[in-house]
Each structure stands twice: as C-alpha cells, then as structure tokens.
Amino acid sequence: MPFRIILSLASFLLTVLLYVDRACISAAKDGISKDFGLSKTEFGWVLAVFTLGYALFQTPSGWLADRFGPRKVITGIVSIWSLLTAVTGASLGFVSILIIRFLFGAGEAGAFPALSKVAFNWFPIKERGIVQGINFSGSRVGAAFALPLVAALIAHSGWRMTFAILGFSGIGFAIIWYALFRNKPEESSLVGADELKLILENRQKPAAVRSKLSAGRVLSSPNVWLAMFQYVCSNFTFYFTLTWMFPYIKERFALDGVSAGLYSSIPLLAGALGNVASGILVDWFFKAGRRSRSRKVPAMLGFLLSALGIILVTQTDSVGWAIAFMSLAVFGADMTLSPSWAFCIDIGRENSGVVSGMMNMAGNLGAFITIIAFPYLKEWTQSNVPFFYTCAALSVLAVFAWMRMDPLSPLTAHKSEETAAADDPAMKPLKA
C-alpha cells in the first residue's frame, strides 16, 4: 500500500480527534451552564473565546509549520490541545473556563496550516483536492461523532470526567505521529522507490531560492484578502452548526440530549460528504486541464447550495425538514473548504503555511462573531430568522469573491517572480 494512503488516513484521524475535542463543549452546555450559573449569552462567550485564540495564533502557527516542519508542529499541538481538553474539566468558574478555552483554541491553531504543508510536501498536485477533502471530512465526522457520544458520556459520568477522558486520548496519537511521520517523503524509510519517484515528479515545486514573504507582501495581495473574506462567509454558517445547532435543535423541538445529538450529527455528516464530493470535483477539473475552474466552480456551487439551505431552514416547523435543509446548507458550506485550502497552497507554495494561516485566521474571527451574534440577535429581535438570513447573504457575497480570485497567480516575495512561478510544471495538469 502506498505510504501516502496511510498518511491520508492518519491526517483524517487527526482531524476527527481535533473536532471531537472541539465540539464536545457544545454538548456540555447544560451541565456547564448549570454549575457556573451561566446565561445563554455568557455561554456564547465560552464557545466564542476558543475561536478568538484559534484565529490569533493561525499565522504564527503557519510560520512554525513552514519553519520547523509538520512533524514537530503537529506532535506539539496535539499534545497541547489534548492536555487543555482534560484541564477544561477542572474549570472553577466562568473566568477560568474562558481562559482555558482561549488557550485551547491557541493550541489547536496550527493543525490545518501544518496539514497544508503535509499536502504540499507529500502529494502530487493532481491529488490535492481529494486529500484536502478527506482531511476536512474527518473534522465533520469527528464533530458528528462527538455530539451523541459526548451527550451519552455526560449522562453517565458528568461533563468534567468526560473532558478528562477525551483529553488524554490525544497523547497516544501524538506519539505515533512523531514515530512514523517525516516532514518530506525523501526523509522516510517507509516510502518505496516507485512512490517516491511519483511524488517527486508530480508535486508542486518549491522555489529554487526560498521566497520569504513579508507581512506587507501578503497583505498587499487581493488574492489573500478575497480568500480571507470568503472563508469568513463559510465559517459563519459552519460554526453555527458546530456550536449552537445542538442547543438550538434541543430547545426548539424539545428533545432530550442524546436525541438532539443524533439529529445534530446529520448535518455534520452531510458536511463530510460535501468535503469529499468537492475534493473529487476539484481534482476532476484539474486533470481536465481547467486549473482555475477546479478551484472556483466547486466553491461557488457550494456557497449557492449553502444560501439555499439556510433560507429553507427558516421556512419549516418540522425537525426532520429543518435537519434536511441544514444538511443541505452544511454540505454546500463544506464544499468550499477543499478549493479554499488548495487555493492557498497554489498561491502560497513553500509559504503555504503562512497563507493558509492568514485565511484560517480571518475565517475564525468570523466564527467568533458568529458564535456571539447568534444569542445576541435572538435576544435583541426575539427571533432566530435574522441570523439565518445573515448567513445566506454572506454566502451569496462569497460567490462574487470567488469570481475575482485567481489561483494561477502565486504569491512571491517580489511581483516580478510571479510569472516564472506560474510556469511550475507541476501546475500543468494532464488533459482529460
């Protein structure tokens, strides 16, 4: 079996673990709120402060992945976030859980930027779409798995013990990752000669001299700003699903915790399918020689489906139809992820950790706003409808952003280098 298939499975399991630990806080809402006497808006801050730490440490974590390689960075961040998950169960009150969740977000920040370096170093560019799709489908499977599982664990053992159990499970993964993974395939004894030759001949080539991007160069790129904006729009819809959908479904339809967890897992599983479908579509267009369309079409289609689904959620009083329409919305929103991260690797190349970190930082600042906006809009308007309409409007605006994004313009230290960078042979796909 080619080692990169094993590596794809490992990165899938990494994102499963990442989102199990991230999503469990939502299922613990009632227990935490009761023990600490939290209102809905105060619990909103508990959910949101994670995304603030996560967003602020994206770019530094991306730089670390570029500088030290994903082997050490992923080992370190899995260990840190796993310990902080366990420590969450020892929270003493509102202030302490805010601090712990902020640090937890900071600890998780490097995961996806580091995985973008794995994709750059280890996979032929024609496989990039499906690799990103598999990675993000793992995150949705993890979140879907977490909601009913954590609800059942909390019912049996309480929320504090549940966080301890989940936290210590990540240390074993970190040890295995460090033992088996290497930063590049040419450094690994587990890669056969034929597979190594395939990877080296077909992966995207780094610049002959490493192009060190200044902050000003990154921030002067319209491509980067558009990528950041559309990722805000994607996260605005998804983070409602990850954080507030469980309590929203439970309260609106008067469900018990386990039933609400099972219902809430369905849109997340739809998101996993959206990631895989989009990854396949990305690679299909790329192999057909349509490099730009391979990024744009899946993302634009996804945002349109997301807008449609989220509007339809407001038009039904049935839990079954509400879950079906939310599943359509999340399927669409998650179709945007594979092309978004492939786009960052396209334009970032050897600096893909920094570029993807910038995009993910912006997206998670958007997620922070989302998590706060949901309870406050409900409090101000006595309705959830304005929030859902905001999600739909942002999805439509993201379609226009993708119309202007150009994956064929690599970001280099000097604009004069970009024409040569765009001629990278690995970026010239096979014709269908």
Can you state the angle between helices 222-239 and 319-335, rounded to 10 degrees? Answer: 160
Residue linked to tokens 């079954």: 320
pLDDT of residue 280: 86
CA end-to-end span of the chain, whole Å? 26
In a domain, 208, yes or no: no
pLDDT in tens, 367-399: 888 888 888 888 888 888 899 999 999 999 999
Q: In angstroms, what is the C-alpha Rg of the chain?
A: 21
In a domain, 328, yes or no: yes
Closest CA to 410 of 159, 168, 120, 130: 120
In a domain, 209, yes or no: no
Helix, strand, coil shares of the chain, percent, nearest 5, are: 85, 0, 15
pLDDT of residue 49: 87
What is the residue range of 369's domain? 3-203+216-427
In a domain, 174, yes or no: yes
In a domain, 338, yes or no: yes
In a domain, 432, yes or no: no
Residues in the chain with pLDDT values less than 70: 128, 204-215, 412-432
pLDDT of residue 430: 43
pLDDT of residue 307: 96
pLDDT of residue 212: 64
Q: Structurally, how many domains does the chain consist of?
A: 1
Separation of alpha carbons 181 and 413, rounded Å: 30
CA atoms within 13 Å, Cβ hemisphere of 94: 12
pLDDT of residue 134: 78
- Here the CATH number for the domain that contains residue 153 is 1.20.1250.20
Residue 299 makes CB contacts below 8 A (sequence gap 6+) with 230, 278, 335, 336, 339, 340, 398, 402
Residue 305 makes CB contacts below 8 A (sequence gap 6+) with 328, 329, 331, 332, 335
DSSP 384-395: SHHHHHHHHHHH
pLDDT of residue 215: 65
Tokens matching residue 28: 């613990």
Separation of alpha carbons 238 and 394, rounded Å: 12
Residue 41 makes CB contacts below 8 A (sequence gap 6+) with 375, 376, 379
Separation of alpha carbons 59 and 64, rounded Å: 9
